[in-house]
C-alpha cells in the first residue's frame, strides 16, 4: 500500500494501492467527462462534486434522487448512495449491494482526504453502526476486504469514544 502523509482519521491506510494506477487514471478521466454526465441527469452538474459525476455515470438513479441544492455537498452525495444501499439491503437485492460496495471500494482508490472521510462516516458508519438485523449481517459478508477492515476500525473508534 502507498501511504499518504496528509491523510487523517482512523483508517487512513486504506486508500490508494500502488497496483491500481491505470484503473485510477480511467476513473479520473471519467470524472472529468462532463458531456458524458449530461445525458444522465437533466439538471446542471456545474456545482456538483466529482463524486456526484462519477456516481451519475454508475448509478444515475441515485443522483436523480439528490436534490439539486445538495449537489456539491460531498457528505450528502455520499449519504444518497448510503440510502440506496440501505434500501437494497432491506429488499435483499444483493446484486445491487455488491455493486454499491464495489463502487465505493473503487472510489476509495482515488479518494482525497475529504472524500475518504465522507466514505468512512457518511457511508460505512451510517450504514452499519448498531445495525444487527440478519440482512445487515449478510451485507457485511459482501463487503470487499478493504471496506470490511475500514468498517471494523471505524466501529472500534466509535466504541472507544463512548467511554
Question: Could you write out the DSSP letters of every residue in the chain?
Answer: -PPPTT--STTTTSS--GGGHHHHHHHHHHHH-HHHHHTT-SS--TTS-HHHHHHHHH-HHHHHTS-GGGTT-HHHHHHHHHHHHHHHHHTT-HHHHHHHHHHHHHHHTT--HHHHHHIIIIIIIHHHTT--SHHHHHHHHHS-HHHHHHHHHHHHHHHHHH-
What pLDDT score does 112 carry? Answer: 84
Q: What pLDDT score was predicted for residue 113?
A: 87
pLDDT of residue 135: 98
Rounded Cα gap, residues 18 and 2, in angstroms: 6
pLDDT, residue 149, reads 92
How many CB atoms neighbour CB 150 within 10 A?
Answer: 28
Q: How many CB atoms lie within 10 A of CB 93?
A: 15
Amino acid 13: pLDDT: 46
Q: pLDDT digit of tens for each residue in the chain (163 aa)?
A: 444 444 444 444 454 443 344 444 444 454 445 454 444 433 333 344 789 999 999 999 999 999 989 998 999 999 999 999 999 999 999 999 999 999 999 998 888 888 989 999 999 999 998 899 999 999 999 999 999 999 999 888 888 887 7
Tell me if 103 sits within 8 A of 81, measured CB to CB.
yes
- Asked whether 71 and 48 are in contact (CB, 8 A), the reply is yes
Residue-level pLDDT at 143: 97
Amino acid at each position: 500500500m502507498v501511504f499518504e502523509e496528509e491523510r487523517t482519521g482512523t483508517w487512513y491506510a486504506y486508500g490508494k494501492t500502488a497496483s491500481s494506477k491505470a484503473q485510477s487514471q480511467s476513473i479520473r478521466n471519467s470524472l472529468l467527462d462532463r458531456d458524458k454526465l449530461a445525458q444522465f441527469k437533466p439538471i446542471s452538474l456545474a456545482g456538483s462534486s466529482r463524486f456526484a459525476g462519477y456516481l451519475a455515470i454508475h448509478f444515475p438513479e441515485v443522483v436523480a434522487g439528490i436534490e439539486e441544492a445538495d449537489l456539491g455537498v460531498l457528505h450528502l452525495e455520499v449519504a444518497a448512495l448510503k440510502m440506496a444501499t440501505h434500501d437494497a439491503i432491506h429488499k435483499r437485492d444483493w446484486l445491487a449491494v455488491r455493486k454499491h460496495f464495489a463502487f465505493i471500494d473503487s472510489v476509495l482508490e482515488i479518494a482525497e482526504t475529504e472524500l475518504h472521510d465522507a466514505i468512512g462516516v457518511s457511508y460505512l458508519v451510517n450504514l452499519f453502526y448498531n445495525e444487527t438485523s440478519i440482512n445487515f449481517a449478510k451485507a457485511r459478508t459482501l463487503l470487499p476486504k478493504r471496506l470490511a477492515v475500514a468498517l471494523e476500525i471505524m466501529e472500534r473508534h466509535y466504541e472507544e469514544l463512548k467511554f
